[in-house]
Amino acid sequence: MFKVNEYFDGKVTSMAFEEATGSATVGLMAKGEYEFGTDKKEIMHVVSGELVIQLKGEENWTSYKTGEHFNVDGSSSFKLQVPVDTAYRCQYID
């Protein structure tokens, strides 16, 4: 019923669904380091755990924990350091 997508050999697994405001995914990231590219602008919510991120073109790394969220520009990318298995929700903004 829901499309399950796997990245980085399954270390990141997400499921796609539609919200009233547009497309979204909910998923899990295993402890590790990743980099993702973006097409649309994204709002990333930490559902449970922690994501430490570096946005493209920025020097600093910022930590986001359960209940917090951050924005990523469209046609961009961001690096993540994931200190613990983390659940997230991603909203894609047209």
Whether the CB-CB separation of 74 and 39 falls below 8 Å is answered with: yes
11 binds its own copies (CB under 8 A): yes
Whether the CB-CB separation of 42 and 70 falls below 8 Å is answered with: no
94 binds its own copies (CB under 8 A): no
Number of continuous H segments (helices) and E segments (strands) in the chain: 0, 10
CB closer to its own copies, 49 vs 72: 49
> What one-character DSSP code corresponds to residue 3?
P
- Report the nearest approach of its own copies to the CB of residue 94 (Å): 17
80 binds its own copies (CB under 8 A): no
Choice from 20, 39, 59, 94 touching its own copies (CB under 8 A): 20
